[in-house]
Every structure is written in structure tokens, then in C-alpha cells.
Structure 1
Amino acid sequence: MTATTATTPPSPAPGTSGTGARTGRRALRDAASRVLLANWTGASTVPSHTLYPHQWSWDSAFIAVGLSRLSPRRAQRELETLLGAQWDDGRIPHIVFNPAVPLDAYFPSPDFWRSSTAGAAVGAPPGIETSGIVQPPVHALAAWLVHESDPESSGRRRFLERVYPRLTAWHGYLRANRDFGGEGLASVLHPWEPGMDNSPCWDRPLERVEPAPATSFRRADLTHGDAADRPTDLDYGRYVRLATDYRDRGYTDTDTDNDTHTDAGPRAPHGFVVEDPGFNAFLIVSEHALAAIALTLGQDPEPHRERARALTTALVGRLWHPEAGLFLCHDLRTGTPIEEKSVTGLLPLLVPDLPGHVVAALLRTASGEHFGLGSTTALAPSYDLRGRSFDASRYWRGPAWFNINWAVERGLRQHGALARADDLRQAILASAGASGFAEYVDPRTGRARGTTDFSWTAAVVLDLLARTEDPGEER
């Protein structure tokens, strides 16, 4: 499916009472359900049959949360399928490839990553082809929410007992292999790892990366999407170079000959090493989820709680910048903060134990001139509205994404900004429905961008609708 044509700004979301409102919610729920059912492949869900015809890591986490509102069994299967491709070192790869999909349907394809051979020394599974990089660790949170949706089904199938060891191994991988700053935070080694692929936050760190020749790869994404919505060829050349270098080093994270933790020279032979606040916020929230899972299984939750506390301290100590009113990314190759203002800096609202002054500042920033949430924008944009690189159409350089706004809504609600959370929830529902469950939208007009019938957009709609109908369930 190609990028959609312009749409009018989203109309107000369905109300919360009355026959018309109930009918509107039912129609939206039915439409979202059809998207997820159509994108289900039998063991997992593709984000989009055209642009993204395989299983993606953090997509599946959000998708599982929404699927739990339709079929807790299928939601459990979604996460179990993903975890079935976990590497022996604990990493969850960002793509699990479907062997039935032609190689030219997506790039980088499995013959580029060559995980089963190039990654064999660090534990890539021999019978499954995957990528070698990772995505944000939202999986334990998703597993816990899936369990909560139907504890009886979860318990009967011993769902938590099966996934808990794999999830703890995943967090263990990040703790052991990605703490390049030496203070506990996980670092990302490729712009695709924090999920916000072509964010302006990566422009400066990527300047030192020599791009792969344009003749060395073919972009399948431009077959199904508008080039104006997608990363540039120069961006892609640098992505390919970083991924190629990582693959050719056997997907090893650390340089054993340089076992040091310094901002000036992290113990990694990588050209791109960044601490991202959103990635680490999801890690903290997922540690809290692991504590809840451990308690449910009769195990000690305290190690997870202690790690969550330590990570929260490190997050505030290293990435909070009061003058910006925002958490900023940190470039470990130069030892300096990245000044660009991205929505990733608002995601620590998910963290339950933030200092009060940090929460207050984040709330001001969210509604201020840089993000305009609730004033100039209905949904939080992915990048600073006043930033030099803002582009309302191009991928993560300005458009609003539904999974991110779902996370912001949770953060607002957690910290007591209930009216603002309610407004954002209604805006998500309205914009998702009006845009045909778009991949992302113009944050000011609601115009659909990317592809439509996008799985995580439909998934967060199902979750938000369920919580609207049962306010006592707010999770």
C-alpha cells in the first residue's frame, strides 16, 4: 500500500456516553480489529504487509498489548514467537525474518544480516534468520500487560513462567554488553535501535560515518512509500555502513582489548554509540514489570526494583538537562549531549519515580512551544516543532507516532495529569480512525503519512478503547 493522500484534520473522538458514542467506539474497535486480524501471519503479526513484511521487535510488543484485547492467547503467541528467535547472549533481534517472504521484499534482507553464520559465535540461533541489532526493551511491560488482560489464561498456559527467564536474559544482555558509559544506562549502536530511525538527534553522530556506496544496496521501502516520507539515500548509506561493520565484527559489542568506560573512548569499536532517554525509560519500566512478574511467580522482585532505582538515578543524573526542560541524548563518542529536542526526551514520563521538579518541567515542555501538545498539536510530534530539521512528513523528523503517544499518555496519567491524558487519549483515537490507522501523521493537521492499516496503530487503539470503557482498569 502506498502513502495515503491528504486527509482533513481528525474530528473529535467518540464521546464517552450515549448511543452514538457507543456506536462510534464499536465501529473504531471493529476497524482496528480487522487491521490486526489481516496482518496476523499465523504465529506473529507484520507491521504492514507491504513496507514491513516480517516480525519487528518493539512492534510486536505494542501489538501484543492490543491483541490481548482480542485474543489473550494470540497476544501471548506474538511475544513467544519473538522470544523464540532470541540469541544465546540474550539479545532480542529487531527483525525476525519470515523465510516465505522473497528477499527483495525488504532491505536489509536476511542475506545481508547473515545472522546464523555471522552471529554464530555470540549465539545467533542456527535455524532462524534475524537481524543483529536490537530495539527498545518494552517487551517485559508488554508481557505483564498481556498477563493482566487475562490472568486465568496466562496462568493456565504458564505464560509468565515461560517468558520470564528470556526477558531477564534480555535485560541481562543490555546490562552486560551495552553499558558503554559505565553508569548503568544502555547504549544504542545504530540509529535503528532506539526505534526513531532518522531522528535529527542522529545527524551529528552520523556525520563521522562514511556511507556505503549507493550502488551497494537497493531500497525496497521506496517501492511502497513516498520518498518524501522516508529517510534519505544518504541516511540509508550510513545505516548500511554501520550495520555492515557490526556484522563483519561478528555482532560483538565490546572491544576486549580496550576494556574501559569513558565518554571519550567507550569500550566499543563502533562509530555510533549513544545513550537514548526513551530506550532507557522503556528499560526502567520493564524492570518494574519484571518485578511484578517475579512477585506473581513467587520469586524475589527486589533485584528488579533495585535495578530500576539505579537506572532511574543514572537517567536523571546523566541525561536530564534542566535548561532544556527535557532529557537529551548523549553521544558517547564525543562525551557531549545532543542538543536536538526529540520526543524521546519526554518518554521518561513513563518512569514512576522521577523527581517532582523533573516531572513538572517535562509537563511544561510537552505543552510548550517545542511540542505544543494540546495547543498547536493534538498529538506529540516526534521532533521539536521549532527545530531546524523539523519536517512534518518525513519519518521521525516531525510526524506524530501512535505508539509514542500511547506511551506519553501513560506517562501523563501516571503522574496525575489526568485531564491532559484524557485529551491525548481521545486525540489518538480520533486521529487513528480518521487516518485509516496510519503509520504516522502530520502532528498539526492529522494528515496520514507512510502506510495505512498499520498494526501498532490499531493495537494502541484497542488498548485505549478498552481502558476508556473500564476507567477502573487504568494500567
Structure 2
Amino acid sequence: MTACLDRGPDLGTLTELDRAARRILAANWRRHATVPAARLYPHQWSWDSAFIAIGQRHLSPARAQRELEALFGAQWRDGRVPHIVFDPSVPAGAYFPGPSFWRSTAVPGTPGVPTSGIVQPPAHALAVWLTFLAGPATARARGFLPRMYPRLVAWHRYLTTRRDLTGSGLMSVVHPWESGMDNSPTWDEPLSRVVPVPSAEFTRRDLDHAVAAERPTDLDYGRYVRLARDYRDAGYADTAGGHGFTVEDPLCNALLAAGEHALASIAGEVGADPGPHRSAAARLTETLTTNLYDGFFFPRDVHTGRLLRSYTIGGLMPLVVPGLPVAGALVETALGDRFRLGAATPLPSYDLTAPGHTPGDYWRGPGWVNTSWLFWHGLRLHGHEALAGDLRGRLLDRVREAGFREYLDPLTGAGHGADRFSWTAALVLDLIRAR
């Protein structure tokens, strides 16, 4: 394997790697939830907590359950799960946009704790079910699934009703941050129509803790602020024509379909009918494949009706859906030059052959452990055990070399972004224990 250019600590054995991952999760724990990274991301993030719980379940099923319960304790009455739950003990200026920007507590039907108003990919039902499986006795004693099931149902109902902005049966994201892949090149076209807020009108805090060349530009950030401000000023209303950015995203819809499969299993455990969840999973899988697949999964720009034909990691994520009819074709694409499964590790966030591929620039090239974990999970679901085993080993080797970084150069292994990153640590713990 190519030597890493930005080496972290020498974590030469799985035991040392395991101990280091445990220390990171312990250090990033804040009373009831885990922050992604202490300085750059000092609050609770939605899909981060899902991945953190998947790893934490191996150390303490009860703490993993508490992680998810804390997140859903901030669920809005309409069912949405906000992408940030703010910690009141963190100084107000530590992160932008913070509570004073989102003004969630002024919105009817929101919890007492301040949150953002947008969402993130729905990885939560899968995380809840995997967390349950790690400690069923503890979960049953705590009433974990009976508490979480109705909240998950409300969350999915929000996404499949309020966020089905076209009537197609697919959920839409209304901000790039909702996709989890903030500055992906695939958003460049729809974002180009958004008039940015001048940079003089906001103060970025991310650049206090990260290299500017590895973060979105001020122009992009101005567009993000515009979209979030307009959504806030509209009372966080979800209407078909009310958003400057509206995209049907493969990653989010794939996790929604996978989540319905998980909800069917949860329903069986709590004595509810799993049938509606199985039917919803089948509908989502069919619609996802019919509407967004054209040799690869591409997002659809709702404003133009066109597919956004960039080859990004999001287009591989439907592999997490059980029974996906085009799973074999996705694996073949992953093995090709664009993603180089078996060599590039983690899988690149953006097409390695594209002129704009930048291996250190956030979602415009580098690889993330969480998306590679999802693809690894999908490989196992669809019977590609040898490829899954190889990817697992390569991911563990990369983290041994670079440390627990936020993202990595997929070809050299150089670490980028925040260090001591929680979902990297958590998913390493899961990969170590994989059978």
C-alpha cells in the first residue's frame, strides 16, 4: 500500500487501533451525545450520530441507544430530525450558523433545545436496528425500540410526504448540507442559480479550525447561507416551488429505502405490522431505480427535471438497499477507473477521471470512511464477500497510517479535515468486529 503523506500515530495493530478509537469516542462524548470533532463541530450532528451509534454499540449498547435517543429528543412535531442539535453550554459564537441564525425555538412545534431547521440523510432506522441487535437484552430492558419506533415512523413520514415535492414518491433535499455531501461538484449547476449572500454579512467559523483550500469557497458559503436564510424566513415550510435548490438525491432515498427494511424488522420486534414498511421499501426501490438510474444513479434537479450527471459517491450508495436490481452494475462501476474499488481507499467522493477531481477538497475528491462503510455494507448485502473483505482491510490500513481523520486522499492516504473524528473512530470499531 502507498505510504501516507500525512502520517498520524503508529497504530500498527488492530488492538492499538481499537484502543485509540475508544479514546476518541470517550473524549468526544458530551453528557448525552457525541460531537463529531471537538473544535470544528462542537454540537450533535444527525447522521454523524447514526454512524457513531453503529460503532459505539460494540462498547456500550446503552450509550449507543442514548446517542440516538438524544437526537430524536430534538425531533420537531412535523417529524423532521434536525441536522444539528445545539449544546447550550457551547459558546454562541463557536459555530456558524448557530442557534441565533436558525431561530428554531420561535417555530411552533419545535423542542425546547435549539436546533437547525434542515435535515440530513436518514441513516437512523438502520442504526437503531443494528444498535438493538448488539444488545437486545439491554434494549428491551430500557424500552429502546418501543420509544424509537414511533419517532422513526414520524421521521420517515415527514420525508415521504412533506419532502416529496414532486409527487414522484422520492424525497427531495432543499439544501446541499442536507445531502451530507456539502460541496459536491454535482450541486454546482443547481447552486449556480442561487444568488449568494455577500461574505461580509456572515462570519465563517470553520476556517478557524480547517485549511481554507479544503473547505467550500466563500461564494459557495454565501449560497448556502442564502438557501438556509430563505427557508428560515419562510417558517421552514416545504412547498414545491418554495426552494431555490430542490434535488432528488440517490444517497438520501437509498438510505430511506434501507431504513424501511430496518423499520420492518423493528416493527416485528415491537408487535407492529411490518407489511407497510416492506411495501414502502419496495416502492422506494422501484421509484429510485426508475427515476434516478441511467447506467448509474444521478440526482435529479427538480427545477429543470434533468439528471445531474456527475459521478459521485452518492451514486454508489443505493447498494445499501436490499434487493436492488442493478446492484451488479454498481459494483462494476465501482471497480472501474472512476472509483477504483480495490485500489482507491476510501472510495473517492468524486470521479477520479474528472478534470475537477481535487483529492483534498472536502466532497470534491477525497474519501470518507462513512460512505465507504455504507458501500462495504452493501457489498456484503449483495454477496460480494471477497470485495467487502478487501475494502475492510484497506480502510483499516488507511486509518492505521493517517489516524482518525475526517477524510483522506483516496490514492495516497493523506489525511485531511478534522482530526480525532468520531464517525471514523466509530466505524473503525465496527469494521474491526466484522464477521
Partner of 2:39: 50
Partner of 2:189: 204
1:337 aligns with 2:307: yes
Query: Deviation string for 1:144-167 (max 9, x for gaps)?
Result: 000000100001101000010100
State how far apart, in whole Å, the 2-side matches of 1:72 and 1:350 are.
23
How many Å apart are 1:6 and its aligned residue?
Answer: 3.9
1:162 to 142, 147, 152: 147
How many Å apart are 1:220 and its aligned residue?
Answer: 0.2
1:434 to 393, 396, 401: 401
Structure 1 residues 430 and 29: alpha-carbon distance in aligned structure 2, compared to 1, 3 A threshold:
same
8 Å CA contact 1:194, 1:278 repeated in 2: yes
2:94 to 89, 97, 105: 105
Structure 1 segment 113-192 matched on structure 2, within 5 A = 113-117=102-106, 119-120=107-108, 123-125=109-111, 127-192=112-177
Query: Deviation string for 1:174-231 (max 9, x for gaps)?
Result: 1110111212110000000010000001000000000001111000000000011111
Partner of 2:378: 411
TM-score (norm 1): 0.89
State how far apart, in whole Å, the 2-side matches of 1:444 and 1:252 are.
43
State how far apart, in whole Å, the 1-side matches of 2:389 and 2:364 are.
26
State how far apart, in whole Å, the 1-side matches of 2:235 and 2:168 are.
26
1:7 aligns with 2:6: yes
Query: Deviation string for 1:331-357 (max 9, x for gaps)?
Result: 0000000011110000001111111xx
State how far apart, in whole Å, the 2-side matches of 1:327 and 1:388 are.
20
State how far apart, in whole Å, the 2-side matches of 1:311 and 1:10 are.
43
Partner of 1:86: 75
Structure 1 segment 293-308 matched on structure 2, within 5 A = 293-308=266-281
1:220 to 205, 222, 235: 205
Secondary structure at the aligned position of 2:186 is classed as: helix
Bigger shift: 408-417 or 185-194?
408-417
State how far apart, in whole Å, the 1-side matches of 2:142 and 2:171 are.
32
Partner of 1:363: 331
Partner of 1:260: none
1:253 to 235, 238, 241: 238
Residue identity (%)? 55
Bigger shift: 172-181 or 205-214?
172-181
Partner of 1:233: 218
Partner AA of 2:275 in structure 1: E
Partner of 2:64: 75
Partner AA of 1:379 in structure 2: P
8 Å CA contact 2:8, 2:403 repeated in 1: no
1:34 aligns with 2:23: yes
Q: How many aligned residue pairs are there?
A: 432
Partner of 2:246: 273
1:312 to 282, 285, 290: 285
How many Å apart are 1:447 and its aligned residue?
Answer: 0.2
Partner AA of 1:328 in structure 2: F
Query: Deviation string for 1:326-383 (max 9, x for gaps)?
Result: 100100000000011110000001111111xx222111110101111113x1321001
State how far apart, in whole Å, the 2-side matches of 1:354 and 1:152 are.
32
How many Å apart are 1:9 and its aligned residue?
Answer: 11
State how far apart, in whole Å, the 2-side matches of 1:373 and 1:279 are.
22
Query: Deviation string for 1:286-326 (max 9, x for gaps)?
Result: 1100000000112110000000000000000000012xxx1
8 Å CA contact 2:5, 2:412 repeated in 1: no
Partner AA of 2:428 in structure 1: V
Secondary structure at the aligned position of 1:47 is classed as: coil
Partner AA of 2:148 in structure 1: V
TM-score (norm 2): 0.97
Q: Which runs of no fewer than 5 residues in structure 2 stay unpaired?
A: none
Query: Deviation string for 1:5-51 (max 9, x for gaps)?
Result: 9425999x97xxxxxxxxx2111111100000000011000000100
State how far apart, in whole Å, the 2-side matches of 1:90 and 1:388 are.
41
8 Å CA contact 2:54, 2:64 repeated in 1: yes
State how far apart, in whole Å, the 2-side matches of 1:436 and 1:369 are.
27
State how far apart, in whole Å, the 1-side matches of 2:384 and 2:205 are.
42
RMSD of equivalent CA atoms? 1.4
Partner AA of 2:59 in structure 1: L
Partner AA of 2:399 in structure 1: A
Q: Which runs of no fewer than 5 residues in structure 1 stay unpaired?
A: 15-23, 255-266
Bigger shift: 313-322 or 377-386?
377-386
